[in-house]
Structure 1
Amino acid sequence: MANSFFSLTIELFVGFFALLVLTKFLGKNQITQLTPFDFISALVLGELVGNAIYDPEIGLHYVLYAIFFWGALIFVIEMITQKIRESRSILEGKPSLIISNGKIQYEELKKNKLDLNQLQHLLREKDVFSIREVQNGILETNGTVSVMKKYSYDSPKNKDIKLPSKSVALPIVLVMDGEIISESLDFLEKKEEWLTDELHQRGIAGIKAVLYAEWTENEGFEIQTF
């Protein structure tokens, strides 16, 4: 029993530092720029090491072999993407323009399996709480969104030009994917007829024609159709 614990301790110790060395060797992009390929590589590498360590029939040399052989494969792929530009779109993916000139590119969202709720979440991570603030948005290969704000919403900050402070309202999403968000209407104490009338005034046939609609106090509607 004591011998088993000793062997496991040695394997864990060596495996830990072998993975640390491998991570340093492969570079920081394995952590900070996690593409789908990098994600799969990390999962498989962890599974290889885990199985090797806890299988009593596999010795320490198999643990090291699994780590460094898989690391060599990752390194070769990284070299290919660096040297052959055409391979990058296949192995790493391509960025997608999902908001262009302030308009949501619905087909690009569908192509990338991204719904509007996920898009909102990604934008909020960039301190963008309303679609109206975005001039262009690019979905990067690691799943994040890079945002170019519209001129009126971009820097400098209000405090830099000494503007008087005022309250900031959170935008209320009213329509998403052609369906009314009933909770939002209840929050505003409005009826569906009010929203339908607002759409008709803007030449929009009805709710089903609307991809996304939000309302913000003092700024009004931001409406985008399919």
Structure 2
Amino acid sequence: MDEYISIITELLWGFILLFVVLKCLGKTQFAQISPFEFISAIILGELLGNAIYDNEITFSHITAAILCWGILIYVVEMLTQKFKGTRKLLEGEPNIVIHQGKIKYDALKKGKIDINTLQSLIRQQGYFSIQEVEFGVLESNGKISVLPKSEHDTPKNSDLNVPTKPVNIPITLILDGEVVYDNLSEVGFDEKWLKDQLAMQSITNYKEVLYAEWLPNKPLYVVGYEKKSS
């Protein structure tokens, strides 16, 4: 019994240490994933490694550790859902790093990022100068959300008084030479219609098609396999 208590204690202590280290390193260290996903990957990878390479670690030890870890993550998720006050501590919060075109150095320092990193994150949003940005928000996942200055913003249809048009999602009908029958039924066509569409493009066999997609009021878009030159 003492072994299991030791495993659970070490797991809880390791969780706390990893969480503190991630908070100290800053948001950009785990961009695109949450701190808990990052910690989970480390912990579960270590558990699996121990199970494979350490003969003294038994199946029951691993089971106890994984169950404890799962319960811990579940409790953390429940806390952030039930109590809003815990979200800032456990999940982090967005920070405004550019306000009305001016860089907020205190916010940069708090987020553990420098000017070069800020420029890189802004370029990833399609803006190559800080002067183009009116507001910049450092999100809890390490990314920057940008609201550009009006003169650098892309005009929208509403700005140009362009009449609105319905937006449609392209539907994949053939993928890697095979018909996606569920999608074909969803758009209201049958296999005969599909064969007729392919015949109009001199294609007689599905196997000749790498990819085919359908959009309303447009001909079937077909990409065939490249023919090997002899």
Q: TM-score, normalised by structure 2?
A: 0.51
Deviations 1:92-147 (A, max 9, x none): 11110000011111111112211001111111111121111111011011111111
Instruction: Provide the C-alpha distance between the structure 1 equivalents of 2:93 and 2:59, rounded to a whole number of angstroms.
Output: 39
Whether the 8 Å CA contact 2:99–2:134 is kept in 1: the answer is yes
| Counterpart amino acid of residue 61 in structure 1 | S
Instruction: Provide the C-alpha distance between the structure 1 equivalents of 2:54 and 2:39, rounded to a whole number of angstroms.
Output: 22
Shift of 1:36: 2.7
Distance 1:78 1:62, change over 3 A: same
User: Could you tell me which residue of structure 1 aligns to residue 85 of structure 2?
Assistant: 86
User: Could you tell me which residue of structure 1 aligns to residue 64 of structure 2?
Assistant: 65
User: Could you tell me which residue of structure 2 aligns to residue 50 of structure 1?
Assistant: 49
Whether the 8 Å CA contact 2:31–2:142 is kept in 1: the answer is no
Instruction: Provide the C-alpha distance between the structure 1 equivalents of 2:113 and 2:31, rounded to a whole number of angstroms.
Output: 21
RMSD over aligned CA atoms reads 2.5
Q: TM-score, normalised by structure 1?
A: 0.52
User: Could you tell me which residue of structure 1 aligns to residue 39 of structure 2?
Assistant: 40
Instruction: Provide the C-alpha distance between the structure 2 equivalents of 1:39 and 1:110, rounded to a whole number of angstroms.
Output: 22
Alignment of 1:1-226 (within 5 A): 34-156=33-155
Describe the SS at the equivalent of 2:122. helix
Instruction: Provide the C-alpha distance between the structure 2 equivalents of 1:82 and 1:92, rounded to a whole number of angstroms.
Output: 11
Whether the 8 Å CA contact 1:96–1:139 is kept in 2: the answer is yes
Shift of 1:33: 5.2
Whether the 8 Å CA contact 1:49–1:67 is kept in 2: the answer is no
Instruction: Provide the C-alpha distance between the structure 2 equivalents of 1:54 and 1:65, rounded to a whole number of angstroms.
Output: 18
Which stretches in structure 1 are left out of the alignment for 5+ residues? 1-30, 162-226
Instruction: Provide the C-alpha distance between the structure 2 equivalents of 1:75 and 1:62, rounded to a whole number of angstroms.
Output: 20
| Counterpart amino acid of residue 73 in structure 2 | I
| Counterpart amino acid of residue 38 in structure 1 | E
Question: Please, which moves more after superposition, 47-56 or 137-146?
Answer: 47-56
Describe the SS at the equivalent of 1:128. coil
Which stretches in structure 2 are left out of the alignment for 5+ residues? 1-29, 161-230
| Counterpart amino acid of residue 99 in structure 2 | S
Which segments of structure 1 move beyond 4 Å, counting only runs of 4 or more? Answer: none
Q: How many residue pairs are counted as aligned between the two chains?
A: 130
